[in-house]
A and B are shown apart, each in its own frame.
Chain A
Amino acid sequence: MQNLRYEAPETLADATALLSAEDGVARILAGGTDVIVQMHSDLIEPDLIVDVKNIPELTEIAKEGGAYRFGAAVSGKTLMLHEDFNKTWPGIMDGVQLLGSLQVRGRASVGGNLCNASPAADSVPPMIAAGAVASVIGPNGARDIPVEDIVTGPGRTCLEKGEIVVSFLLPERPPRSGDAYLRFTPRTEMDIAVVGAGVNLTLDGGGACTAARVALGAVAPTPLLVAEAADALIGTKVDDAAMEALAAAARAACNPIDDKRGTIEFRTKVAGVLARRAAAIALERAGAN
């Protein structure tokens, strides 16, 4: 870090070229709320910092047909101020609103929260539940990666040298859809999830669930997409029996650590409870639109 270089390119091509050409440690800087802390506490010693906030594709929020696309470096606060996005994806915003403090959300981005690759990142389970797909660009071209496939372990992602998460595409929302994210923490603010659960579902005109996605955070080395939990809801009227099946599937998917913030037993039990409660909120939101 003695010879740290700071670059703020204005195009994706320049950014990937800089990252690809660096032989030492390179880090992408979006909001910096993880990278700068890691740098100043000597957890990482980068030779190159590439600030991506001057690249338009990383900082825009736009509609593509009925679908939303937002840049990976868009700050939590910018998303919070986007009224229609909040109305369309309230569950994603449940997670975004829990990122740090107001000060942290003024900088922190969903792309950074994902690429920091913490199993407890609050914006990631609702993004997985939403079916978000990351658009990634690198020296060998562009590829689309479902958000659930990005994180491969604590602090590790599937991104290759020179690759950047540019933006996220969220599918167009059918009518009668709702999503929600809940987490358990000892404090209401400024804390890290002990367990997090995101649920996204769609109902038909008769109130039966036609599609669902369920994701859990902080109960395994990576955020999890739990297909069995979604299957417990699909085809039901999301009644008590379906809710209990959902909770059981959520508990069964858990593979948590045992630490001072939560035991394995506690995290597993709470995963079922939160999945159920998040599903109830998602159901209510789906009924309201």
Chain B
Amino acid sequence: MTKHHIRTTINGDETDVLVEPTQSLLDVLRDELHLTGTKEGCATGDCGACSVTIDGNLVCSCLVLGVEADGTEIETIEGMASGDELHPLQEKFIEHVALQCGICTPGLLIAAKHLLEENPDPTEEEVRYGLAGNLCRCTGYQKVVEAVLDAAQVMQK
């Protein structure tokens, strides 16, 4: 199969990679670039564990072909903290214990960050709808919603 050379900016770093046309962006991130923070849950766009942003647009990376990423800017969970300094959402997820097994957490954090960028002061209902594309089988969502609402307050200060 012919490989395509793509050039993207991932978490601010310019990245060149050869991809096969069948590979999803999720496969490229994990298997070619070894950015394994982005998780595969369902691989059908139902669970949101593989959420990333492409040019600021929140997507499931399992539903994007790697070749489509050429010329785009991608943000993954690896770019969320600044060095050792966690993002307020990450801090609040820990503080509120908004995770158990953790497989959905990177996707939830990416989706929550995107939500707060679009709506810095959401209501509880807006948070619940905003994160409806991210499934979690452990927490029952309550602590996740509390953490996001708390982070929103901190981030507005």
Binding site for B on A (CB under 8 A): 1-6, 8, 29, 31-33, 36-37, 39-41, 49, 51, 53, 75, 77, 100-104, 106-107, 188-190
Residues of A near B59 (CB, < 8 A) are 103, 106-107
B111 in complex: contacting residue of A6, A37, A51, A103, CB < 8 Å: A103
Residues of A near B24 (CB, < 8 A) are 36, 40
A107 in complex: contacting residue of B43, B64, B129, CB < 8 Å: B64
Residue interface mask B90-101, A partner, CB < 8 A = 1? 000000000000
Is A103 in contact with B67, judged by CB distance below 8 angstroms? no
Whether, in the assembled complex, B122 has its beta carbon less than 8 Å from a beta carbon of chain A, the answer is: no
Interface residue count for B (Cβ, 8 Å)? Answer: 30
Nearest CB to that of A53 among chain B residues? B68
The CA of A31 and the CA of B67, in the complex, are separated in Å by 13
Is B130 in contact with A190, judged by CB distance below 8 angstroms? no
Is A103 in contact with B60, judged by CB distance below 8 angstroms? yes
Q: Known interface pairs A36-B63, A37-B63. Does A106 touch B58 (Cβ–Cβ under 8 Å)?
A: yes
Whether, in the assembled complex, B133 has its beta carbon less than 8 Å from a beta carbon of chain A, the answer is: yes
Binding site for A on B (CB under 8 A): 1-2, 4, 20-22, 24, 43-46, 48, 51, 57-60, 62-65, 67-68, 111, 114, 129-130, 132-134
Closest 8 CB pairs of A and B: A101-B133, A6-B21, A189-B132, A103-B60, A103-B133, A106-B57, A106-B59, A4-B21
Is B1 in contact with A102, judged by CB distance below 8 angstroms? no
Nearest CB to that of A40 among chain B residues? B43
Nearest CB to that of A36 among chain B residues? B63
Most buried by A among B1, B43, B44, B63: B63
B18 CB, nearest partner CB in chain A, Å: 13
Is A6 in contact with B67, judged by CB distance below 8 angstroms? yes
Residues of B near A104 (CB, < 8 A) are 45, 60, 63, 133
Is B1 in contact with A4, judged by CB distance below 8 angstroms? yes
Is B4 in contact with A6, judged by CB distance below 8 angstroms? yes
Interface pairs (8), CB distance under 8 Å: A4-B22, A5-B21, A29-B65, A32-B65, A36-B63, A101-B134, A103-B59, A103-B111
Is A36 in contact with B64, judged by CB distance below 8 angstroms? yes
The CA of A77 and the CA of B57, in the complex, are separated in Å by 9
Further pairs besides A32-B68, A106-B58: 4, Cβ < 8 Å: A3-B1, A29-B65, A32-B65, A189-B133
Is B21 in contact with A102, judged by CB distance below 8 angstroms? no
Nearest CB to that of A6 among chain B residues? B21
Residues of A near B1 (CB, < 8 A) are 2-4
Q: Known interface pairs A36-B24, A39-B22, A41-B44. Does A102 touch B130 (Cβ–Cβ under 8 Å)?
A: yes
The CA of A155 and the CA of B60, in the complex, are separated in Å by 23
Most buried by A among B4, B45, B51, B111: B45
The CA of A24 and the CA of B60, in the complex, are separated in Å by 29
A163 CB, nearest partner CB in chain B, Å: 22
The CA of A246 and the CA of B67, in the complex, are separated in Å by 49
Residues of A near B65 (CB, < 8 A) are 6, 29, 32, 36, 49, 51
The CA of A41 and the CA of B43, in the complex, are separated in Å by 9
Residues of B near A100 (CB, < 8 A) are 45, 133
Residues of B near A51 (CB, < 8 A) are 65, 67-68
Nearest CB to that of B42 among chain A residues? A37
